[in-house]
Structure 1
Amino acid sequence: MANVRKLSQFPLPHLTNTNYENWSIHMKALLGSQDIWDIVERGYEEAREGDTLTVQQREVLRDKRKKDKKALYFIYQVVDELTFEKIAVATTSKKVWEILQNAYKRIEKVKKIRLQTLRGEFEALQIKESESISDFFTRVLTIVNQLRRNGETLDDKWVVKKILRFLDHKFDYVVVAIEESKDLDTMTVDELMDSLQDHEQRILKRRQEPLE
């Protein structure tokens, strides 16, 4: 129990809806360091009613029960209340682990399907003929934020380059100017939007000027 108290002083890997794969790797390492991963992975058999156990068998069984409770203690520490309700009915750490594995693998599968859909929507983006830069960026960033919430890692550099590819011919001049005068590796999405909105305002102003 001293080891448990010592480990409880350090941050434990808490399980969320988006980190099951990484969480399980951390937990396997943690439980393995306490010599209790085997009991979670393989489980153990309880004595059946009427079984007569030797002193040695009773000692082995007592040790396995102790390890199982220790494993349960660690798992209980790293799940939220809603998840705890799902696993509280399980009586062994092996059963708890299986419940979590099945539940979160389904979540991962749904997330992967969602990511594929969002990636397709993102690649199909194109500014509309009468669409403003502000409205276009709203559409782009809505999908970008959904991708990020589903676990996709997207930096501004990648998003900026994609947005430049989604623009139509009336922005060709400003795209070339941005690519030649700006460092796309450090340009933020907000900076790109400001540059495109400035160009958009100049286009609108020219259209509104009366012909002489």
Structure 2
Amino acid sequence: MRALLGAQDAWEVVENGFVEVMDTAGMTANQLKALKETRAKDKTALYLLYQAIDESGFEKIVGATTSKEAWNTLEKVFKGADRVKQVRLQTLRGELEGMKMKESEGVSDYITRVQAVVNQLKRNGEMLTDARVVEKILRSLTNNFENVVRAIEESKDLGTLTVEELAGSLEAHEQ
């Protein structure tokens, strides 16, 4: 949501808030213009928040008059989900650790499967380096890749090797 709101130049108003000014008497033309722009950004952000949530979430923020108010409400609602998030992270960590390439599986398919779990972990706040993912892939390949794995470990710096570079090396061997 931050990326979406940022792309619409509306994140700042969500973060800092917007206070509706009732009395505009005495405001300069520039101040009125700035107020109108900020009001529009706030309404855009509020609209995007409405669009991004399901019906039950909408019911929780329907009374909000500003995007910051809606955002704060949603934050409180989803803070309770932190415990659920921790359980989900534990499950995903276990799934990643238990992954092994199947004999009938292509290396590209296996790496895609690993990346899907890695992406879920990252979306849930897990910090995973490419090096850790590369090491996981290397130690969980089938025995057919034993020589290639040794060659990669000896010739490349695993600390800087990206998953994409590894995939290229392994796919070249597979063919």
Question: Do both share a fold (TM > 0.5)?
Answer: yes
Q: Which runs of 5+ in 2 are unaligned?
A: 1-10, 18-41, 65-69
| 1:107 maps onto 2:71 in alignment | no
After superposing the two structures, state which structure 1 stretch, 106-115 or 189-198, moved more. 106-115
Aligned to 2:151: 177
Structure 2 distance, partners of 1:121, 1:167, is 15
Structure 2 distance, partners of 1:97, 1:129, is 48
Aligned to 2:102: 128
Q: Which runs of 5+ in 1 are unaligned?
A: 1-10, 15-26, 32-75, 91-95, 202-212
Once superposed, what is the RMSD of the aligned Cα atoms? 3.3
1:89 Cα deviation (Å)?
4.4
Distance 1:101 1:189, change over 3 A: closer
TM-score, length basis structure 2: 0.61
- 1:39-118 alignment runs, 5 A limit: 80-81=49-50, 86-87=60-61, 89=63, 100=74, 102-118=76-92
- 1:192-211 alignment runs, 5 A limit: 192-201=166-175
Aligned residue identity for 1:146: Q
1:155 Cα deviation (Å)?
2.0
Distance 1:169 1:100, change over 3 A: same
Picking from 155, 161, 164, the partner of 2:129 is 155
Aligned to 1:166: 140
Structure 2 distance, partners of 1:119, 1:148, is 11
- Give the secondary-structure state (helix, strand or coil) at the position aligned to 2:138: helix
Identical counterparts, % of pairs: 52
Rg larger in structure: 1
TM-score, length basis structure 1: 0.51
| 1:143 maps onto 2:117 in alignment | yes
